[in-house]
Amino acid sequence: MGTMVVGVRFRRASKLYDFSTNGLNDLRAGDEVIVETSRGREMGRVIIGPHEVDESQIVGELKPVERRATPLDRLQARRWERREGRALEKCRQKVAEHGLPMKVIAAEYNFDGTRLVFSFTAEKRVDFRALVRDLAKTFHARIELRQVGVRDEAKFFGGLGPCGRELCCRAWMTDFSPVSIKMAKHQGLPLSPTEISGVCGRLLCCLAFEEEHYVEARSKLPKVGTEVTTPSGRGKVVAVNALKETVSVLLESEAVVEVDAATLQQGSAPEEAAEADEAEPQGDDEA
């Protein structure tokens, strides 16, 4: 038997969470709702409308949609949102007073102002228990301090990538995929940090997006060092361009030519192959 759920998102380009419709099966994508979460009540936006999910696919406890958000809920949420800038400034002052080695990058109230989350970066673990008590007295709300990485910091602030477009993590990415230097090598990119790093200082996320295509394309191309026969003569592959599906070949004449991979023959030259055929006994004659 299935359960009716909706997909709800709380922040732009954040994870999608399933909630029980709790009988509100007429909800539609775009509706704002009040939901019960493990951290208390939150206001979110329905991204995926009511649909049935098999109970075996539900992981953990499925929280309910409490109700549709009212105009008063939305007004209240905007009011607390406008206070986040001042809360961030005040928190930074408190961090300086406590002498803690941390950089506070964002402050986020829930829709009714009962909970305030500060996100920060730090090079190591920080004992911020005294800071939390101080902040709770200052803001009269439940305080949560959340340590995030430099990629999360870029997601908070946004910006433009080397491609000239808005950062993917800010625009649409809901999670960070692992990225490795091996991906840059597969894609034939220069290994200079300035060439393959994003504004966060980490490897570009788009390396992971394109890796599958490069792996598939390169599997159809000869590897560097392979001896091939080209329309211009025999030579050795010295470079591979997976996007163009071409290879650069160092000919016996020491000239380098770029050749469409579809025109290549790997292994022995045609003349050598013909001589080998003549030397082998013919199966038809033996029969």
Edge-to-edge strand order for the sheet containing 17-20? 17-20, 2-9, 40-54, 32-37, 65-68
Higher pLDDT, 185 or 60: 185
**Alpha helix positions (H), 48-180:** 71-82, 84-98, 129-139, 150-157, 168-171
Query: Using one digit for the tens of pLDDT, what is the confidence trace for 143-188?
Result: 999 999 888 888 888 889 888 899 998 888 888 889 999 898 888 8
Selection from 170, 230, 222 nearest residue 200 by Cα: 170
- Which pTM does this prediction carry? 0.70
In the prediction, which pLDDT does 285 show?
A: 44
Residue 140 has pLDDT above 60, yes or no: yes
Residue 118 is predicted with a pLDDT of: 96
The side-by-side arrangement of strands in the sheet containing 227-230 is 256-260, 246-251, 233-241, 227-230, 265-266
pLDDT over 50 (residue 269): no
What pLDDT is stored for residue 102 in this prediction?
94
Q: Which CATH architecture fits 80-148?
A: 2-Layer Sandwich (3.30)
- Are the C-beta atoms of residues 276 and 268 closer than 8 Å to each other? yes
What's the rounded mean pLDDT across residues 197-203?
90
Contact 269, 229 (CB under 8 A): yes
Per-residue confidence band for 275, with pLDDT thresholds at 50, 70 and 90: very low
Confirm if 226 and 266 have CB atoms less than 8 A apart.
yes
pLDDT tops 50 at residue 20: yes
Q: Do domains 80-148 and 227-271 have the same CATH topology?
A: no
* Residue 7: pLDDT band with limits 50, 70, 90: very high
Residue 278 confidence class, pLDDT cut points 50, 70, 90: very low
CA angle 262-268-270, nearest 5°?
A: 75
Q: What share of the chain in percent tops pLDDT 90?
A: 38
CATH class held by domain 227-271 = mainly beta
Determine whether 39 is exposed, middle or buried from the number of CB atoms within 10 Å of its CB (0-12, 13-18, 19+). Answer: exposed
The identity of residue 274, as a single letter, is A
Mean pLDDT for the stretch of residues 265-287: 46
Domain residue limits, the chain: 2-69, 80-148, 155-218, 227-271
What is the rounded distance in angstroms from the CA atom of residue 194 to the CA atom of residue 30? Answer: 40
φ and ψ at 185, to 5 degrees? -65, -45
